[in-house]
Every structure is written in C-alpha cells, then in structure tokens.
Amino acid sequence: MPTASKRKTATKKKASPRKRASTPRCGLCGKTKNLTKTQCCDQWICANADKYVLFSYARNSCYRNHDRYTMCSYHFHEKHEGDWRECEKCRNGFDTELYVHFSTNEYNFVKLENPPAFEPTRCKGCGCVIDLGHDGYTMTGDDYLCTSCYKISF
C-alpha cells in the first residue's frame, strides 16, 4: 500500500501552463495593467507617465524613467542609426559618468556590457564625490559643485 506522501503525489494534477506566461508585463516593474510599448525598443512598459508631478523629480513612472534616463531612448529621440550600444554619437554626447549611468541603470531593458571606467566627479568646493546620476549638483563652467557648496557660494 502506498504511503500517504506517495498518494498525495499520485493524486496531484499536473500544473497547467500559467496564464501569465502570455500576459504582457512591464519589463521594469512586472505589472500587467495599463501597459504600452516603448517607441525606442518596442518593450512592454507601464503607461504611467501621467503619474509624474511636474518639477517633483520623482522616479515613479516606468515610462518616464525609461524615456528620460536611458541611452536607449536618447538614441531614439536623436534619430541616431544602429544600436545605441555601438553608437559613437551617444558615447561622445555625455561625460563618461553620465553615459555609464544612462547605459546601466535600472530603467534599461538591456544594459551596456563592459561600460567604460571613469574617475568619480568631485565637488570643486569641498572635494566630495558627486554621483552625477543621483546626487544634486550645479555646474559653473566645467566645475561641479555639490548642493552644500552651491548654497554657500550664493
């Protein structure tokens, strides 16, 4: 006579293919409702640009984040030819640190493999490291000032 565990196994139904396999999902957050496709790379993404509040700098919109903060979208909007990962115009259009950020951040569907190395950006006033992709800063000529030094200088 089979043991209880064998009986349970024998009576279990085979799992049917999940419905979600055919349901489109946002490639960034995984949600399945209110989706659209990106113009630049034809990927499913939340159609939630309307959630952004003007001048809030919030990062709460998958669509806006991909559209504003990736080389993929920049390449498309600038009407460059070919793949953005091989585009010299894109590569030369930004400081290396920002190019790397826009090519490897969490808003990309495909990230740049082997991004170029760069020296961290330092504040001209206090010497602290400024992460150009995330920190607040201002530029005076070719120099960068962190938010603390900018407040002091004005």
Q: Is 22 exposed, middle or buried (0-12, 13-18, 19+ CB in 10 A)?
A: exposed
**Is residue 11 over pLDDT 60?**
no
pLDDT class of 8 with cuts at 50, 70, 90: very low
Say whether pTM exceeds 0.85.
no
Tokens representing residue 131 in the block? 């992460």
Domain ranges of the chain: 24-118, 120-154
Minimal CA–CA distance to 108: which of 46, 34, 28? 28
Helix (H, G, I), strand (E, B) or coil at 63: helix
Rounded (10°) CA dihedral 46, 51, 52, 53: 180
Give residue-wise pLDDT tens across range 105-119. Answer: 999 999 999 999 999
**Chain CA centroid to CA 14, Å:** 38
